[in-house]
Structure 1
């Protein structure tokens, strides 16, 4: 079994997969139960392909989830992975009878729905056409034909008659675009929902829209915008409204991690810790609140230690996995920069105690940060000291005085020009009042 698992993860590694050898803190069964729809398979399958400790259990869960659905291709992929990893398991044998029966049923259902939709179009009943397209789109999505599903959902738009129906169409298109990892299309579909519905419908869909927008922005590596989207999600409505995308714990983790990576201490205090709306999400991920609190309090090494203990969990998340290295690197760089601000000189030994680790060379890391411009400091390799570059107060004062003089000169010339125009009794047409001339109107096009 060990040889087969080694071969499996060697194959995953060759396919540029991320391998997680440490066990996560969550229970697999409880974790999967937080989601509904096709997301359950996606998460179980990713864990099976990435986690060494949970590989077998996660692939079995993915196979079971696939057999509860209609997507035969997903079933084939999950069984093939389990067959390579643990060929002795009963689930590693293809259930050919189920495959053939399901594919036959899928074709029959597709044909039936197409015939129904054709009949609705002949009768020219808009509501029936809309419902027919929706039923066909859901079926195509369930069997894994996401491209056809997106086209079918798009055909619902001409036949919608209420704000809720318009929101439903947008929700279908957003969901399919997220599954296809088309982040730009997710944002485009969400933008069409703005201003096209009433307040009641908007509030009911608000968490879904905010979570979906956050996921799309995360996929585009717009970390601060994504953080603000997650942080503004309404926590009053039940998690079932967006559980096909994320759980409440996920929203807390996404929002907190991205905020740590992209915001300063004052912003973190305001947007995260003092955010009464987001506090409900943080109750489902208390470690995120502790990490943010430690950062705001200046305990940077404690913040990093908390996050590192949860790194295996985040490496098994379908949206975070590809971004964790970048996010953690940005958080760590911010912690180092903030740590050095009060000091003019710090020993490398102290820096190693605060930020070093068994596999981390703090001196090389500091050198990389200095070279990239992220840190304004010098490393004294002889005395083993890190010296921060102090700003020159005299140069700063002179630069400030020069900017003030240039600004004053520009304003003075502008006022003299306006006085000359007024003295010449030229007609000034703009609706903008000239400063210092009462009701005199200024023509911005002159001079």
Structure 2
């Protein structure tokens, strides 16, 4: 069925770089069982409109899921797109009777909630007003109207009376912002959570949620280094945390597998080998997440062992899976590009020259019209790789370095810094000997003759500068 699906009207008008034709390694039913609510429907729709291999199965599950909820607009969008993908499928026909009935029910429910809120406002009962706005926020969220939901939740702030209510409200705002993919808003609301004064058990649950959500927000804003730190700081308790603010965060926002994948990829893209060894492989907390994705642990171990081509090969094997992830797909090309660039740079460090044929064999390029020479030229031009290309002998050459000059330059810089520190300390001693009052600093006072030390350092610097030609 895949060839027919690929030739359907929907995929014919879709950009080729946004179509995934290869089958993924995961089983769709097992994969989607990790999610509930809006994110489950959102992920099914994304897979159904991206993967030609899983399109029909994902759309079947998405349409069935939509009919169990209140988002009629999403159901209409699903059937409209599915009618272009598989027009002969029975589920491609819109169930207008269900849509009309559900619309009437939703209109009646909305009128009831608004009428109750109006009555609460007339009675001036703060707790009832807060709950009325909260119920409206829940209703709008279930209907897929996220801006109206966010507005309703924000109206409850002035009626919150306890720290717990403010915390739950802020978490709800984070929840809706993530659903909207408003990463700046989500990060802003997360920053307000740290100042809340809650009970010990409530703080523990909240502290487990904040790093994972902040990592997702940073990753969405392309701040991969900050995202890696947040994901790596997510405690293992996130995997067992129950509902907080009536939200199942591990089911409705990020699963433990997502934390492992996002954290590992962001770390590989931004950290060097020593940092990865210290903060990823030696991180006992994050190790619990890596056990859920053993191939990523293998890729990280290969990177730390300087087996860069094997590391890239492992990651390429899961490219299709990550292209079907709703948060990874838009940034995967950038992430993989940064990881590949780091591998090339690290591989070349020990060598004075490497043949281009060997580089092409180690770091294979799959894109049409691409070559290792073009990639290396871009890296050299951007200053990422300090090297030159000899197209005659087909060599990648490291520029010559004068070790003697480097050692002398470093020694001179160290001597100047030492001289500056000594002069400051000697000045302090002279001021104290003159009877002036000074504030006590943490640094220890230097004992000795100011003339002898100053003359010795000055002479050493003058001799070193003369020998280097400065």
- When normalised by structure 2's length, the TM-score is 0.87
Count of residues in correspondence between the two structures = 435
- Partner in structure 2 of residue 444 of structure 1: none
1:8 is aligned to 2:10: yes
Q: Name which of 426, 445, 450 aligns with 1:436.
A: 445
- Partner in structure 2 of residue 355 of structure 1: 363
> How do residues 79-98 of structure 1 correspond to structure 2 at under 5 angstroms?
79-98=79-98
* SS, match of residue 346 in structure 1: strand
- Partner in structure 1 of residue 395 of structure 2: 385
Q: Name which of 308, 315, 331 aligns with 2:323.
A: 315
Task: Encode CA deviations 1:165-208: one digit per residue, 9 max, x unaligned.
Answer: 22211111011111112111101100111031333212112332
Task: Encode CA deviations 1:356-404: one digit per residue, 9 max, x unaligned.
Answer: 2454522221121111111111222122222223532222223213322
- Partner in structure 1 of residue 129 of structure 2: 129
* SS, match of residue 318 in structure 1: coil
- Partner in structure 1 of residue 375 of structure 2: 365
> How do residues 39-438 of structure 1 correspond to structure 2 at under 5 angstroms?
39-196=39-196, 197-236=198-237, 237-238=239-240, 240-359=248-367, 360-415=370-425, 417-418=427-428, 421-422=431-432, 425=435, 428=438, 432=441, 436=445
Q: Is the 8 A contact 1:140 1:149 kept in 2?
A: yes
Give distance in 2, aligned partners of 1:23 and 1:186. 33
Q: Is the 8 A contact 1:120 1:128 kept in 2?
A: yes
Distance 1:434 1:206, change over 3 A: closer
Task: Encode CA deviations 1:28-49: one digit per residue, 9 max, x unaligned.
Answer: 1222211111001110111111
Greater shift in the superposed pair: 65-74 or 323-332: 65-74
- Tell me the CA shift for residue 328 of structure 1: 0.3
Q: Is the 8 A contact 1:127 1:159 kept in 2?
A: yes
Greater shift in the superposed pair: 380-389 or 77-86: 380-389
- Partner in structure 1 of residue 21 of structure 2: 21
Greater shift in the superposed pair: 159-168 or 294-303: 159-168
Give distance in 2, aligned partners of 1:398 and 1:375. 25
Q: Is the 8 A contact 2:356 2:395 kept in 1?
A: yes
Q: Is the 8 A contact 2:425 2:446 kept in 1?
A: no
What is the Cα-based RMSD across aligned positions, in Å?
A: 2.3
Give distance in 1, aligned partners of 2:417 and 2:183. 44
- Tell me the CA shift for residue 407 of structure 1: 2.1
Distance 1:410 1:322, change over 3 A: same
Q: Is the 8 A contact 2:10 2:84 kept in 1?
A: yes
Q: Is the 8 A contact 2:70 2:106 kept in 1?
A: yes
Q: Is the 8 A contact 2:429 2:445 kept in 1?
A: no
- Tell me the CA shift for residue 288 of structure 1: 0.8
Give distance in 1, aligned partners of 2:110 and 2:170. 23
Greater shift in the superposed pair: 48-57 or 5-14: 5-14
- Partner in structure 1 of residue 31 of structure 2: 31
* SS, match of residue 252 in structure 2: coil
Give distance in 1, aligned partners of 2:5 and 2:286. 46
* SS, match of residue 389 in structure 2: strand
* SS, match of residue 379 in structure 1: strand
Q: Is the 8 A contact 1:4 1:84 kept in 2?
A: no
- When normalised by structure 1's length, the TM-score is 0.91
Q: Is the 8 A contact 2:50 2:324 kept in 1?
A: yes
Structure 1 residues not aligned, in runs of 5+: 439-447
Q: Is the 8 A contact 1:5 1:86 kept in 2?
A: no
Give distance in 1, aligned partners of 2:156 and 2:328. 32
Structure 2 residues not aligned, in runs of 5+: 242-247, 448-470
- Partner in structure 2 of residue 442 of structure 1: none
Q: Is the 8 A contact 1:12 1:49 kept in 2?
A: no
